[in-house]
Amino acid sequence: MTEIRFPFLSLPIDLGVKVMKTMSLHEQTAYSLASKKSYSKIKSLRLPIPKVLIRIHGELFGFMEISLAAKDITDGEISFKLQSQRSDGMITSLDDIPVNLEVSKTLFSPFGHKLFDLSNQGMCFGEWIQHICSIFQGKHYGAEFTIGMSQLNIQSLRNILPELRSVQLKCSRSGRNQQGVLYAQSILKAFLPDVENVSLFSVPLHESLSVQHIGLTNLKMLRIYGNRKLKLDDLISLNVKNFRIDTDQTTLRDLNRFFKLWMKGSNPKLKKLSIYLRNGNNSDWSVLLNGFQTEESEDAQVKNVTIQNCFGVSARIQIRVGGTYVIVELTVSNYKTKLWFLNLI
């Protein structure tokens, strides 16, 4: 029996559009590579994607990954993994050509299952980023960088990456040095003016890259993981809505002073403050709660205080013991946190 192929390209335009819209994200991407005509057709649909995350892992894992969140959460996340051809796994330039494109799907799990492989099509890392981002209309673009020995040209990143709303930096052991500090500083300097959310994981901070410098930026969310020194000046200079930090170098007296300054009108933009203090010396509630009246609680490990600032805005201070940390949180009334990264911790 002769095999008859479906005459997709011969369909009327309106019917062809309906067929393309029924395709999954990975099918639409594969079809866009068939020809210039198919690319133009997919691009013309301007398909909306809630979130797009570009992960550049460098020598830590030796690949770059572009993840797309499907419009329907039950359809999961589609990831396009581009493996470096270098034996050391480093991605030294966006002009490098990857081995191939591995397409996988993730659904309610950090681990995906492989769907299929595509050839590299003779395109470099930068061209793959531009191709995938051009055929979909992302509402939220984010980038995740690993700080290590492999360092990409910053101007090249700015030219290739779409307009980012979120930046996440993770520091490997090889990046915890002066060179890593300078690279992290260059990335933040390039993207901070435009992004809304910043997350730092074990990134070495410096006088020219301090909590205060980053916190002064007009951000919606700033998260700093890995114990960092936190001073009162860092807190009162914050220009972010949501701030979260791990610290083993701060005092409960400074936090008490900060809450009282907030009541006098300091930090009017701040809606949520989460401070994870190393448990041990930071457990004298009387110092932190000096001047405040605590509310009754069934849990002895939890303390709640309601305060109000000079503008009539109410907030709740909650202190609780969480294993190795004492967690101190300030939450302004009616504020709800929105998760902004794919697979965010």
- Give helix 125-135 / helix 36-44 axis angle, nearest 10°: 50
Average pLDDT over residues 271-296: 84
DSSP labels, 227-250: --B--HHHHHT--EEEEEEEESB-
- Check pLDDT > 80 for residue 90: no
Nearest alpha carbon to residue 63 among 54, 72, 52 = 54
Please give the pLDDT value at position 62: 67
Please give the pLDDT value at position 340: 43
Higher pLDDT among residues 7 and 167, named by residue: 167
Residue 262 binned pLDDT confidence (cut-offs 50, 70, 90)? very high
Please give the pLDDT value at position 75: 65
Residue 111 binned pLDDT confidence (cut-offs 50, 70, 90)? low
Residue 239 binned pLDDT confidence (cut-offs 50, 70, 90)? very high
Query: Which tokens in the block code for residue 95?
Result: 């002009």
Least confident piece of the model among 18-32, 64-78, 79-93, 126-140: 64-78
Please give the pLDDT value at position 341: 43
Model confidence, pTM: 0.87
Mean pLDDT of the chain: 85
Amino acid type, 58: G
Please give the pLDDT value at position 58: 62
Residues 6+ apart with CB under 8 A from 299: 320
Please give the pLDDT value at position 286: 84
Max CA pair span of the chain? 88
Strands 197-201 and 325-332: unpaired
Please give the pLDDT value at position 205: 78
Residue 172 binned pLDDT confidence (cut-offs 50, 70, 90)? confident
Residue 345 binned pLDDT confidence (cut-offs 50, 70, 90)? very low
Nearest alpha carbon to residue 170 among 214, 197, 201 = 201
Least confident piece of the model among 51-60, 141-150, 272-281: 51-60
Residues 6+ apart with CB under 8 A from 77: 67, 68, 69, 70, 105, 106, 107, 112, 342, 343
